[in-house]
Amino acid sequence: DSGVTQTPKHLITATGQRVTLRCSPRSGDLSVYWYQQSLDQGLQFLIQYYNGEERAKGNILERFSAQQFPDLHSELNLSSLELGDSALYFCASSPQGARDSYEQYFGPGTRLTVT
């Protein structure tokens, strides 16, 4: 157990809907990262937050957004969902945010199915 928690475990929703995925980092970790794992694209970095501020963006669609709250938990919001958004969404955390080769600790993921 990495100490990173994600809820919900599974989510099934319809196209056009909006969902929120939640992540609680390990105690003391300031950075949170979101990744999307789909069958055809592999594991892709979406976005990183460090101590409440957006630090870096990867291949995140405009329909997606995220935030990190003062208690350091993070939420990933996915809107106007399409069938292609069906994937496993992972959250990871690490102690620091930049220029340090810190291990990232991954959560168990949220499996999103869009029907």
Partner 1 sequence: AQRVTQPEKLLSVFKGAPVELKCNYSYSGSPELFWYVQYSRQRLQLLLRHISRESIKGFTADLNKGETSFHLKKPFAQEEDSAMYYCALQTGANNLFFGTGTRLTVIP
Contact residues for partner 1 (CB under 8 A)?
A: 1-2, 31, 33, 35, 41-45, 48, 55-56, 58, 90, 92, 94, 96-109
Min CB(69)–partner 1 separation in Å: 20
Residues in the chain, total: 115
13/38 with CB nearer partner 1: 38
73/88 with CB nearer partner 1: 88
82/103 with CB nearer partner 1: 103
Q: Phi first, then psi: what are they for 43, rounded to 5°?
A: -95, 115
Min CB(29)–partner 1 separation in Å: 12
- Classify residue 21 as exposed, middle or buried by CB count within 10 Å of its CB (0-12, 13-18, 19+): buried
Min CB(16)–partner 1 separation in Å: 29
Instruction: Determine the Cα–Cα distance for residues 48 and 6; give it in Å rounded to an integer.
Output: 16
Angle at 47 between CA 3 and CA 104, to 5 degrees: 35
